[in-house]
Every structure is written in structure tokens, then in C-alpha cells.
């Protein structure tokens, strides 16, 4: 019995020793390596080359100057902005509601927004800016001059205001992307009286960056110096200093980057794309631009009855090698357009189908509908009308190239158009007068995130509006009309889906492609991202989140530039 107890003690002691050894071995051995997490911190300078020149840093005087709009996006804010899918998002407005009949929109401002001079933003600033839009100044685009006088705006409090419309209009939010001006600084001036006001080159806004001063050389403004708004309501920018430098063209801006003079280039066009791609430290950010390139067909031209047949229009689109045009004429910088609503927009219907390049199928379609070719290969209708007409295009090298490619494509199926390049004013006049056969055009949808296609395809727009094709489809027009007065997005989505189905089948004109916008930023600038842009200045939407320097959260030490 004693012998057993002694063995038990030995076992217990041995177990204790082994346990202690294991314990100390575990505590002495290094554990798994803990990776430090880089965290953005304030620091650095970002310099951007903007193509163009400064005129006035006043958003209501900048509709015709992209260079000013770019900088204004850094200095000012709107009530709302639109995300990549065209959805309205809060900016100066914290929230909004609309009445059941769709005629009243009530907005509540964020409670703690201040102008760069320290004065608090209020509804009076919004009302003042709307009053400028209603003032019939020639600086305001014509469509806004006709729209805003019909809208009443009233302050319900310092933070709440209400817009009252004469009738329901679902795309109303589209008209609220104007930037707000400070009433306490400009409140006694009309827009025309502001044209030469010092405010235009010493602006005060609410945006992520404040104006500091201008770089003036030989009496000309060559650039601007901005500093971060540390009280910015969406979060202070990480990059404290932002420098703008102006260049007359994309080539000189590109060369400035190659020389190390700037960190970003506002636009990388086709002429500078090659050099940009050759820069190993330059990141390119691409976005679809809201500029629909299409061939308009005059469906009301009685001398061209074949345009009135959907199968002819379908064959014409199938005969165009859009991929080759994009690759060979646009260096791949475009995406297919399958209809009048942009890919990625909340209203885009992905199930509408597409027209593939199929010239032999297109030719056979025409023959199957009673057409025939003569000895010269020219296609004729069953009534003997030749498929010949005049294709208008802009008198610009790239547009002429594309138009020539289209005419060559059509020639392979027996369609023989004559090409007529025209200056912009002359082409626009011909379209407005409906004095044309077909026209290669670019429908500029910039600044209008709402997908509403009514202005170009509604029946009421045939005479005097922008329905240049003269498409007279009652059912399609009804869908568009209903979508304009119903503020419920789910219902609008359904209506636009139905419209796009009809458009695809009828194909009143031929959608081709949307061009791509390229923006170049040095790879040391982090967290840059852009989606589909409704204006190139939208690339700055999240600039307060860009950063250059980082620190490691788990490792003490000074911030370091990101690799």
C-alpha cells in the first residue's frame, strides 16, 4: 500500500514538472505575428493639372466652363448629389420627403454646416440661390430659366424648407444639384451684378477645401492654392493642401505630369492615352460618360419610307461593327449603348437584349422582307425605292472617321448613304428644322442623373421639342408620361423597363456607344475611386477620403508615405 502511494506521488510530481515546462515554453515562444493595420492620416500635398482656364469660381456662372466647375466641386456643396447609379444622396440636406401628390418636397438641412468664414448655413442661403436661378440671367441655361420660375420655395425654419411645384414632376431632384451661394455675402446682388464681383476669385463655400490664394504670373492666373476645411461636415480631408495648375490643352498637362510637376491630370484624352499608359506610376480611373452617341433617323421624312419599317432599322444597327469602331477609332474607350438609358443607372433594364454585329443576317433580313439588290449591289424596297440617303455628322475629324466607318458597314448590305459633315450650329439647325435624313449625333446627358428619356422620345416633343426622330408611339410615350409624374422609384423602374422593351423592338434610332472618361492620378494618392460621372467634376465627390500618408495602428512611429 505504501509502495503504491509512493508511485502515485512520483506520477503527480512528474506531471507537475511537465506541465510547468510546457507552460514556460508557451510563454517564452513567440506567438503569431500581429500585422499592423495602415491607417490614413493627415499630410501631403496633391497637385492637379486642370485643362482650361479660370474664369469665375461662382457655380451659377460656371455652366459653360468645365475648369471652373471642377474647382467649384471642391469649394461648394449642393443640397443633394447622385451616386453612380443615379440615386439621390444627402449632401447639405440631411433628409427629404415628398407629398402624396408629388407637388411638394420638404428638405431638412444638416444641423452643423458652416461657411468657410464661420457663418452657419441656413435655408435663406438656399432660397437666395434659387432666386438667382429664377432671375432670367443669360448665364443660366435656357431649360433652367424656364423651369425655376414655376417653382415656389419657402423656409419653414432655419433648417427646413419646402419646394412647391405647379404639378407632379418626378425628375425634380435632378434640378437640385446646383451649388449653394452664401446669402450673407451676396444677398443684395443679382446674378448679372456678380459677374465682375471680387467674390468670384475669392470664393467662400461649405465644401471640403477652402480657397487660399491664386498663383498669378504676368497678370494671368496660373493656378490656385486650396487648404482642407477641417470643419467639413462629411469629415476633414486627409490631404491638407491641394494645388490647382491650369494648362491650355491635354498635351501640356500630360507633359507636366511626366516632368513631375503635378500628381494628377483632369482628363486623359485619346491623344494622350498612350503616354499615360506608359507611365508606370500613373493610375488611370475610367468612367462611362453620359454622352450617348447614336444615329438619329428622320422617321417623318416621306422620301425615305424604309426608315418607317422597324426591320430596316434593326438591320441597319446589326450591320454596324460597333466593336471595331470603338477599338479602331476610339482606342477601346467606349462601351456599347443598348438603349436610351445608361448602363448602370437604376432605371436600366438589363433584359432588353442587344443587337449583335451580323451583316449577313442584316442583309438577309432585308431580302426576306421583299427587298432586292440591283447589279451595283444597291438595295431597293419592294416598291423600288433605293436605300440611299444623306448622313450628317459634325465637321470634326473623329466624328467624320466614325461616320465613314458606319457608311462602309452599311455598304456591305447594299445601303449607300452620302456623308455630309457640318459645323455644330448648322447641324443643330438642321435637326431642329427636321431637315435631315439621318445624323450621327452625341446626345449630351451631362448633369442630369435622372434617366427620364421623355425629352427625346415623348410624342409631345415631336414638334418643337427634341424628339428629332419624330418617333410617334403612343404606348411608349404613355410609359414616359406616367414615369414623370410618379415619384415612387419602384413604379418608375417598372415603367422605364416597359419603355425600354418597346424601344428595343421598334428601334426608332440607332444607339451606338457611350465614351469613356479617363482621369490620371499618381499611385501615391490612395483611396481614389470614381463611378459613372454625370459631370467630370464628380470625380471629387469623395476627395475628403483620399490620402497620401498612413500610420500603423499597432506600431508607434511617425506617419509614412504609402508605397
Which pLDDT does position 38 carry in this prediction? Answer: 74
For 72, counting Cβ atoms within 10 Å of its Cβ (0-12 exposed, 13-18 middle, 19+ buried), the class is buried
Grid coordinates representing 516 are 469613356
Grid coordinates representing 558 are 511617425
Q: Are 180 and 125 in contact (CB under 8 A)?
A: yes
Q: Are 479 and 497 in contact (CB under 8 A)?
A: no
CATH number for 446:
3.10.105.10
Task: Tell me whether residue 84 is in a domain.
Answer: yes
- 551 with 497, same domain: the answer is no
| Secondary structure of residue 521 in the 3-state scheme | strand
- 69 with 81, same domain: the answer is no
- 82 with 177, same domain: the answer is yes
Which pLDDT does position 562 carry in this prediction? Answer: 52
CATH number for 250:
3.40.190.10
| Residue 153 to residue 445: CA distance in whole angstroms | 26
Q: Are 358 and 314 in contact (CB under 8 A)?
A: no
Task: Tell me whether residue 16 is in a domain.
Answer: no
- Nearest alpha carbon to residue 255 among 232, 234, 233, 279: 279
- 537 with 408, same domain: the answer is no
| Residue 504 to residue 508: CA distance in whole angstroms | 9
| Residue 518 to residue 560: CA distance in whole angstroms | 29
- 504 with 473, same domain: the answer is yes
Give the CA distances from residue 496 to residues 208, 242, 347, 449, 489, in Å, rounded to whole numbers and listed in that order. 36, 42, 6, 15, 10
Task: Tell me whether residue 200 is in a domain.
Answer: no
Task: Tell me whether residue 127 is in a domain.
Answer: yes
Task: Tell me whether residue 28 is in a domain.
Answer: no
| Residue 219 to residue 545: CA distance in whole angstroms | 35
- 252 with 301, same domain: the answer is no
Give the CA distances from residue 39 to residues 189, 379, 547, 555, 562, in Å, rounded to whole numbers and listed in that order. 46, 66, 10, 11, 10
Final residue before a domain boundary, out of 167, 183, 199: 183
Dihedrals φ, ψ of 219, to 5°?
A: 80, 5
Q: Are 111 and 159 in contact (CB under 8 A)?
A: yes
Task: Tell me whether residue 371 is in a domain.
Answer: yes
Q: From the CB of residue 295, how many other CB atoms can be counted at a distance below 10 Å? A: 25
| Secondary structure of residue 529 in the 3-state scheme | coil
| Residue 145 to residue 149: CA distance in whole angstroms | 7
In angstroms, what is the C-alpha Rg of the chain?
30
- 237 with 384, same domain: the answer is no
| Dmax (CA) of the chain | 124
Within 320-443, residue ranges assigned H as helices are 322-329, 359-368, 397-411, 424-432
| Residue 409 to residue 322: CA distance in whole angstroms | 10
SS3 of 409-474: HHHCCCCCCEEEEECHHHHHHHHHCCCCCEEEEEEECCCCCCCCCHHHHCHHHCCCCCCCCCCCCH
Which pLDDT tens digits describe the chain residue by residue (563 residues)?
Answer: 333 333 333 333 334 333 433 344 444 444 455 455 679 999 999 999 999 999 999 999 999 999 999 999 999 999 999 998 999 999 999 999 999 999 999 999 999 999 999 999 999 999 999 999 999 999 999 999 999 999 999 999 999 999 999 999 999 999 999 999 999 999 999 999 999 999 999 999 999 999 999 999 988 999 999 999 999 999 999 999 999 999 999 999 999 999 999 999 999 999 999 999 999 999 999 999 999 999 999 999 999 999 999 999 999 999 999 999 999 999 999 999 999 999 999 999 999 999 999 999 999 999 999 999 999 999 999 999 999 999 999 999 999 999 999 999 999 999 999 999 999 999 999 999 999 999 999 999 988 899 999 999 999 999 989 999 999 999 999 999 999 999 999 999 999 999 999 999 999 999 999 999 999 999 999 999 887 789 999 999 999 999 999 987 554 545 555 55
- Nearest alpha carbon to residue 114 among 182, 177, 179: 182
- 118 with 240, same domain: the answer is no
| Residue 10 to residue 332: CA distance in whole angstroms | 82
Final residue before a domain boundary, out of 129, 149, 183: 183
Domain count, the chain: 3
Please report, to the nearest 10 degrees, the dihedral formed by the alpha carbons of residues 407, 412, 413, 415 taken in order. 30
- 216 with 139, same domain: the answer is no
Q: Are 251 and 271 in contact (CB under 8 A)?
A: yes
152-155 vs 104-109, strand pairing mode: unpaired
- Nearest alpha carbon to residue 215 among 253, 257, 244: 244
Give the CA distances from residue 221 to residues 201, 307, 429, in Å, rounded to whole numbers and listed in that order. 10, 53, 37
Helix axes 489-506, 310-318, angle to 10 degrees: 90
CATH number for 174:
3.90.76.10
Task: Tell me whether residue 533 is in a domain.
Answer: yes
- 86 with 212, same domain: the answer is no
* Number of residues that make up the chain: 563
- 372 with 485, same domain: the answer is yes
How many alpha carbons lie under 13 Å from residue 208 in its C-beta half-sphere? 20
Q: From the CB of residue 383, how many other CB atoms can be counted at a distance below 10 Å? A: 9
| Residue 109 to residue 331: CA distance in whole angstroms | 45
The residue assigned the cell 430596316 is 312
**CA 223 to chain CA centroid, nearest Å:** 25
Q: Are 173 and 102 in contact (CB under 8 A)?
A: no
Final residue before a domain boundary, out of 118, 149, 183: 183
Residue numbers of the domain that contains 107: 77-183
| Secondary structure of residue 368 in the 3-state scheme | helix
For 341, counting Cβ atoms within 10 Å of its Cβ (0-12 exposed, 13-18 middle, 19+ buried), the class is buried
- 83 with 109, same domain: the answer is yes
Task: Tell me whether residue 215 is in a domain.
Answer: yes
Degrees, nearest 5: CA angle 20-24-26: 115
- Nearest alpha carbon to residue 82 among 450, 444, 445: 450
Beta bridge partners of 224: 214, 244
Amino acid at each position: 500500500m505504501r509502495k503504491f502511494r509512493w508511485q502515485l506521488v512520483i506520477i503527480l510530481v512528474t506531471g507537475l514538472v511537465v506541465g510547468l515546462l510546457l507552460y514556460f515554453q508557451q510563454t517564452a515562444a513567440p506567438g503569431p505575428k500581429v500585422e499592423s493595420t495602415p491607417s490614413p492620416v493627415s499630410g501631403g500635398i496633391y497637385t492637379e493639372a486642370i485643362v482650361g482656364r479660370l474664369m469665375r469660381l461662382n457655380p451659377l456662372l460656371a455652366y459653360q466652363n468645365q475648369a471652373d466647375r471642377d474647382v467649384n466641386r471642391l469649394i461648394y456643396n449642393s443640397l443633394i448629389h447622385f451616386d453612380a447609379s443615379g440615386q439621390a444622396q444627402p449632401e447639405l440636406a440631411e433628409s427629404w420627403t415628398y407629398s402624396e401628390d408629388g407637388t411638394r418636397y420638404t428638405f431638412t438641412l444638416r444641423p452643423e454646416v458652416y461657411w468657410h468664414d464661420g457663418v452657419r448655413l441656413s435655408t435663406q442661403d438656399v432660397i437666395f440661390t434659387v432666386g438667382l436661378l429664377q432671375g432670367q440671367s443669360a448665364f443660366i441655361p435656357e431649360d433652367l430659366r424656364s423651369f425655376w420660375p414655376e417653382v415656389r420655395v419657402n423656409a419653414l425654419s432655419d433648417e427646413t424648407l419646402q419646394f412647391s411645384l405647379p404639378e407632379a414632376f418626378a425628375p425634380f431632384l435632378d434640378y437640385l444639384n446646383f451649388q449653394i451661394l452664401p446669402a450673407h455675402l451676396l444677398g443684395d446682388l443679382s446674378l448679372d451684378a456678380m459677374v465682375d464681383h471680387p467674390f468670384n476669385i475669392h470664393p467662400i463655400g461649405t465644401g471640403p477645401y477652402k480657397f487660399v490664394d491664386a498663383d498669378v504670373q504676368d497678370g494671368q492666373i496660373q493656378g490656385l492654392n486650396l487648404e482642407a476645411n477641417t470643419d467639413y461636415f462629411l469629415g476633414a480631408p486627409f490631404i491638407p493642401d491641394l494645388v490647382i495648375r491650369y494648362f491650355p490643352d491635354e498635351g501640356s498637362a500630360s507633359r507636366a505630369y511626366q516632368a513631375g510637376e503635378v500628381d494628377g491630370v483632369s482628363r486623359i484624352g485619346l491623344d494622350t492615352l498612350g503616354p499615360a499608359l506608359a507611365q508606370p506610376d500613373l493610375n488611370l480611373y475610367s468612367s462611362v460618360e453620359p454622352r450617348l452617341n447614336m444615329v438619329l433617323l428622320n422617321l417623318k421624312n416621306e422620301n425615305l419610307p424604309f426608315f418607317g419599317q422597324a426591320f430596316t432599322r434593326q438591320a441597319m444597327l446589326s450591320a454596324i461593327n460597333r466593336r471595331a469602331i470603338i477599338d479602331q477609332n476610339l482606342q477601346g474607350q467606349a462601351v456599347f449603348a443598348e438603349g436610351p438609358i445608361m448602363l448602370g443607372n437604376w432605371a436600366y433594364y438589363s433584359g432588353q437584349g442587344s443587337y449583335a454585329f451580323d451583316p449577313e443576317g442584316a442583309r438577309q433580313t432585308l431580302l426576306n422582307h421583299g427587298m432586292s439588290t440591283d447589279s451595283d449591289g444597291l438595295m431597293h424596297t419592294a416598291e423600288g425605292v433605293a436605300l440611299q440617303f444623306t448622313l450628317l455628322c459634325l465637321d470634326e475629324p473623329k466624328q467624320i472617321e466614325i461616320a465613314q466607318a458606319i457608311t462602309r458597314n452599311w455598304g456591305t448590305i447594299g445601303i449607300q448613304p452620302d456623308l455630309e459633315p457640318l459645323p455644330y450650329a448648322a447641324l443643330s439647325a438642321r435637326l431642329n428644322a427636321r431637315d435631315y435624313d439621318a445624323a450621327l449625333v452625341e446626345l449630351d446627358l451631362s448633369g442630369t442623373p435622372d434617366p427620364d428619356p421623355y425629352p427625346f422620345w415623348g410624342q409631345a416633343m415631336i414638334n418643337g421639342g427634341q424628339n428629332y426622330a419624330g418617333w410617334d408611339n403612343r404606348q411608349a410615350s404613355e410609359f414616359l408620361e406616367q414615369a414623370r409624374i410618379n415619384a415612387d422609384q419602384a413604379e418608375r423602374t417598372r415603367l422605364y423597363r416597359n419603355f425600354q422593351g418597346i424601344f428595343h423592338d421598334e428601334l426608332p434610332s440607332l444607339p451606338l456607344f457611350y465614351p469613356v472618361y479617363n482621369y490620371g492620378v499618381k499611385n501615391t494618392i490612395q483611396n481614389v475611386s470614381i463611378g459613372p460621372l454625370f459631370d467630370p467634376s464628380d470625380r471629387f465627390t469623395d476627395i475628403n477620403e483620399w490620402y497620401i500618408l498612413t500610420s500603423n495602428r499597432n506600431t508607434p512611429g511617425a506617419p509614412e508615405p504609402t508605397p
